A and B are shown apart, each in its own frame.
Chain A
Amino acid sequence: MQKRIKEKALELLNTGVVDRVLGWKIGEFFYDLTPAVFETAEEVEENFVYSGFSGANLSKYLIAQSRAGGKVAVFLKPCDSYSFQQLLKEHRILRENVYVVGISCDGMLDIEKIRAAGCDGVIAVKENVDSLEVETLYDKKTLNRNDCLLERCLVCKSKKVVVFDEMIGENGEEQETARFEMVAKLEAMSPEDRFEFWRGELSRCIRCNACRNVCPACSCEKCVFDNDKSGLRNKAAADDFEENLFHLIRAFHVAGRCTDCGECSRVCPQNIPLHLLNRKYIKDINELYGEYQAGADMETKSPLTNFTFEDCEPSIIHERGGV
């Protein structure tokens, strides 16, 4: 797979189908793969990497890349393709300037989980179908691959690349998983316990804005937190209240557009399970307005910006168990 993807990148550049390729290269560490634009075959040869650590969702970069002149190729995993299509739906990406290579995916790796399995000083990871051979400064270990997947991959909603020009690997199907299990658990808590849970998580926030920067739905021309006129520019959370509210409001902001790609939680340096906020809203939307998956297609109207006569009025929301 890794080889085929790199070859495809080379082929697309060499045959002149595209002018640039959007992919991943090694960052600070080998597991720290970072999105990168490749303009020449040489660059690809040298730096292009696809591995279990290519979790980064490349869709958001296409807002700028599809407007940067010429044509750009991008590799999209199934979950990334939902973000891509959602952005297409919002007219954010110029589709005609993008060549989408869909890639099938068996789940992405979580370096934290590898470390937690007792692997300190990881210097290399060899991926097999079911196992990982982890080489550390001290020894070698074999881990079960499934135990080292990102949380979002354990409850993967879909193996289907929803939009592509060509596929590498077999395209899969949407799947039923228990991704709302934790949300349901939180809902079942008493308000006090739930508040405690979230205080415990959100109090760690350092307002680095990584979640905002990575989120494909959080892609305003001018973010309110970067806008001089908003009075909120570069504002750090002054107290507990603001600490809580920043994330709640951010989740509201992307509600109905969030595809549950899970990037927010992946990039959070403080390991705050931010995806749970988004999933709560997704679950609510599903329950109150009927099943809806942002980015699944180009046609279905988002329940939050669409009006139907069956829409919930506040009293009905209450009757259906909402609060």
Chain B
Amino acid sequence: MQRIGVFVCWCGSNIAATVDVEKVSQVLAQEPGVVFSTNYQYMCSQAGQEMIQQSIKEYGLTGVVVCSCSPRMHETTFRKTCEKAGINPHMVEIANIREQCSWIHKDKEVGTEKAIILGRAAIAKVHLNTPLTAGTSPVVKRALVIGGGIAGIQTALDIADAGFEVDIVEKQPTIGGKMTQIDKTFPTLDCAACILTPKMVDAAQNEKIHIYSYSEVESVKGFVGNFNVTIKKKARYVDEVKCTGCGLCTEKCPQKKVPNLFNLGLDNRRAIYIPFAQAVPKVATIDADYCTMLKSGKCGVCSKVCTAGAINYQQKDEFFEQQYGAIVVATGFNPIKLDKYDEFAYSQSPDVVTSLEFERLMNAAGPTGGTLLRPSDGEHPHTIVFVQCVGSRCDDEKGKPYCSKICCMYTAKHAMLCREKYPDTDVYVFYIDVRTPGKNFDEFYRRAVEEYGVHYIKGMVGKVVPQDGKLKVQASDLLGNRQLHIDADMVVLAAAIEPDETARPLATKLTASMDTNDFFTEAHPKLRPVESPTAGIFLSGACQGPKDIPETVAQASAAAAKVIGLLCKDNLTCNPCTAEPNELMCNGCSSCEKVCPYGAITYVDKEFRGPNRTTLIRRVAQVNPAVCQGCGACTVACPSGAMDLKGFSNQQIMAEVDAICR
């Protein structure tokens, strides 16, 4: 029989206000095996911990139940406390009477009753607890960064700076991400390429950084400290080593009608291409969807003009495996598709563009060479209407419920740049609210209004109709309480941003959790913002939520710091709560082996004693505790109930359920 101590925490008034802590400790004192029960204002305080240690010695406790906050908060604290007092840390159970009780109940009587039940369940479990000892597993000192935008580049640079090997996997032919497409950056209006490309070059030149461009993560196995990742290098039909990036092929390729994705389809490129002049790696890529040689076997011009002999039409997707200690997700964002927003005539008129397309139209490397011209007729626009919150802060199914955060600032930037370069243009900005929390952000917006004379109008655009070469904009001015009709030359839509479409499947591969909008969830929204709840997976940039460049870079470095902290260690303490088969009950059916995501289970033929002094060979499961992460998948897959999780055995869980139902 265990000798159990129960410690009920008030958590100030967090628990005590809705749970009668005195009653809880009194009632739980009556439970079988409980030899001591008390309550205290802050169990996690020094005094509270000393009280627990004192009681362990005084009453010879073998098990401890702390009724307090979520085990995610203080389980480690109390385990360490008890370990110091000489009992195994796994003899401690936490009954969560805060998050799962006091915070969700208003009625004190109901809260108290539930707290008692939760305490009972924990006591029932402790009765079946056994001391557990953790092993260790080595850390592979190499990190993987998925996504080579500014977030991924910054994270990789910081990790490499600490002396660890880093691989960047980027699905596009070049790293750089969205920032390469941006013209100027707010609030300082410096050129995006001028600040980004040095970092791209840094990454390329860093000996510790290996860039796998035009590659994707195929599968992920393993666990923190020891991930085994299969990377797919997509066939680009060009030998990366031989290609010098001279660009001759991209000039000679006869297939000229390929929409240029780098310029968002505003102009065309060839079937063999280098996305832009400063691409890293500067290597050509053949677009298999358009290349006549790959489609029909007739052409081969690029191969003929290539002096390096780098073209290889036979190239195939390559797969290779690599071990990593940590993985950083930096998959970034995309503007949403606007096909559900017909009222803005996006699909009807080429002069209605998204803000990112507008960036390209302003950019010197863009389709117009940096002169702002209407896509329809190449004329200079005189009236430009900006519409904010297109798809952001939407309460219907069309858009996103969240604020995309960056649109207010880049729209102010666009408006300002238009007025500065072309003072003869009239610029209107329609907004719901202007949100400018950030260093020098509000000053920037006010400059747009006050110095540059941008017409900021609170209200939404109802309709855009292309008519006689103009865009008839109907809008409401909420402050002036009037309807506006503007004949615009161009309309720019600040489309909401969403996570890249590769994020969801990647999250599945990584078993990292996501929110309903497909943004990666952080381990704690305030205190662990750059870690995924999945150990060893870190988050960098807009994959975790909408962010501007400074924030992205800050988070990228933060994620790097976390990775460095992990890679510095030689060994990680394993979770002692691993699976354990009961060989006498094992059927040898392999169900557990099939569901194990870590490859921790193998089978052996083992000799057993049969009846009447016979022996028989049986096929039974074996778990490698250094590899097992204690996920418990095998315990439910096992048809015969032979597999159990130490610390969370079926018996323990049933005892808890029974205690709750009693």
Residues in A lying within 8 Å of B, measured CB to CB: 67, 90-92, 217, 219-224, 227, 230, 253-254, 257, 301-302, 304-307, 309
Q: Are B508 and A220 in contact (CB under 8 A)?
A: no
Given contacts A67-B616, A90-B587, contact A305 B505 (CB under 8 A): no
Query: Can you report 19 residue pairs joining A to B where beta carbons are below 8 Å apart?
Result: A67-B616, A90-B589, A90-B591, A91-B590, A91-B603, A91-B619, A92-B587, A92-B589, A217-B639, A220-B585, A220-B639, A220-B641, A221-B585, A223-B640, A302-B594, A304-B637, A307-B595, A307-B597, A309-B508
Q: Are A220 and B587 in contact (CB under 8 A)?
A: yes
Q: Are A305 and B591 in contact (CB under 8 A)?
A: yes
Chain B: which residue is nearest A67 at the CB level? B616
Residues in B lying within 8 Å of A, measured CB to CB: 505, 508-509, 584-591, 594-595, 597, 603, 616, 618-619, 637, 639-642
Alpha-carbon distance A306/B591, docked complex (angstroms): 9
Q: Are A220 and B640 in contact (CB under 8 A)?
A: yes
Alpha-carbon distance A92/B585, docked complex (angstroms): 13
Alpha-carbon distance A67/B588, docked complex (angstroms): 14
Q: Are A305 and B594 in contact (CB under 8 A)?
A: yes
Alpha-carbon distance A254/B639, docked complex (angstroms): 8
Q: How many A-B residue pairs have CB under 8 A?
A: 53
Residues of A within 8 A of B509 (CB): 309
Q: Are B619 and A257 in contact (CB under 8 A)?
A: no
CB distance from B326 to the nearest CB of A (A): 23
Alpha-carbon distance A253/B641, docked complex (angstroms): 10
Residues of A within 8 A of B586 (CB): 221
Alpha-carbon distance A253/B587, docked complex (angstroms): 14
Residues of B within 8 A of A254 (CB): 639
Q: Are A221 and B594 in contact (CB under 8 A)?
A: no
CB distance from B636 to the nearest CB of A (A): 10
Q: Are A301 and B590 in contact (CB under 8 A)?
A: no
Given contacts A67-B616, A305-B595, contact A224 B641 (CB under 8 A): yes
Contact of A92 among B588, B594, B597, B616 (CB under 8 A): B588
CB distance from B589 to the nearest CB of A (A): 4
Other contacts beyond A222-B585, A304-B637: 5, CB < 8 A:
A91-B590, A220-B639, A224-B641, A227-B585, A306-B594
Residues of B within 8 A of A90 (CB): 587-591
Given contacts A305-B595, A307-B595, contact A222 B588 (CB under 8 A): no
CB distance from B643 to the nearest CB of A (A): 12
Given contacts A67-B616, A220-B639, contact A301 B589 (CB under 8 A): no
Contact of A91 among B508, B589, B637 (CB under 8 A): B589
CB distance from B655 to the nearest CB of A (A): 10
Residues of B within 8 A of A217 (CB): 639
8 nearest CB pairs, A to B:
A220-B640, A90-B589, A305-B594, A222-B585, A91-B588, A305-B591, A305-B595, A305-B637
Residues of A within 8 A of B597 (CB): 307
Residues of B within 8 A of A221 (CB): 584-587, 618, 640, 642
Residues of B within 8 A of A306 (CB): 594-595
Alpha-carbon distance A219/B587, docked complex (angstroms): 8
Residues of A within 8 A of B640 (CB): 220-224
CB distance from B598 to the nearest CB of A (A): 13
Residues of A within 8 A of B595 (CB): 305-307
Chain B: which residue is nearest A304 at the CB level? B637
Chain B: which residue is nearest A306 at the CB level? B594
Alpha-carbon distance A90/B619, docked complex (angstroms): 10
Residues of B within 8 A of A257 (CB): 639
CB distance from B607 to the nearest CB of A (A): 13
Residues of B within 8 A of A220 (CB): 585, 587, 639-641
CB distance from A120 to the nearest CB of B (A): 42
Residues of A within 8 A of B639 (CB): 217, 220, 253-254, 257
Given contacts A90-B590, A92-B589, A305-B595, contact A222 B584 (CB under 8 A): yes
Residues of B within 8 A of A222 (CB): 584-585, 640
CB distance from A235 to the nearest CB of B (A): 14
Alpha-carbon distance A305/B635, docked complex (angstroms): 12
Alpha-carbon distance A139/B442, docked complex (angstroms): 103
CB distance from B344 to the nearest CB of A (A): 30
Alpha-carbon distance A221/B587, docked complex (angstroms): 6
Alpha-carbon distance A221/B608, docked complex (angstroms): 13
Chain B: which residue is nearest A224 at the CB level? B641
Residues of B within 8 A of A92 (CB): 587-589
Chain A: which residue is nearest B516 at the CB level? A315
Residues of A within 8 A of B616 (CB): 67
CB distance from A295 to the nearest CB of B (A): 13
CB distance from A252 to the nearest CB of B (A): 10
Alpha-carbon distance A121/B366, docked complex (angstroms): 95
Given contacts A67-B616, A224-B641, contact A301 B594 (CB under 8 A): yes
Task: Count chain A CB atoms within 10 A of each CB in B505, B597, B603, B637 and give the residue with the most.
Answer: B637
Alpha-carbon distance A219/B586, docked complex (angstroms): 11
Alpha-carbon distance A128/B628, docked complex (angstroms): 60
Residues of B within 8 A of A91 (CB): 588-590, 603, 619
CB distance from B511 to the nearest CB of A (A): 10
Residues of B within 8 A of A67 (CB): 616
Chain A: which residue is nearest B586 at the CB level? A221
CB distance from A261 to the nearest CB of B (A): 17
Residues of A within 8 A of B588 (CB): 90-92
Alpha-carbon distance A227/B586, docked complex (angstroms): 13
Task: Count chain A CB atoms within 10 A of each CB in B509, B588, B618, B639 and give the residue with the most.
Answer: B639
Alpha-carbon distance A230/B644, docked complex (angstroms): 13
Alpha-carbon distance A307/B505, docked complex (angstroms): 13
Residues of A within 8 A of B505 (CB): 309
Alpha-carbon distance A91/B605, docked complex (angstroms): 11
Residues of B within 8 A of A302 (CB): 594
CB distance from A273 to the nearest CB of B (A): 23
Alpha-carbon distance A35/B469, docked complex (angstroms): 88
Task: Count chain B CB atoms within 10 A of each CB in A90, A219, A304 and give the residue with the most.
Answer: A90
Chain B: which residue is nearest A68 at the CB level? B616
Chain A: which residue is nearest B641 at the CB level? A224
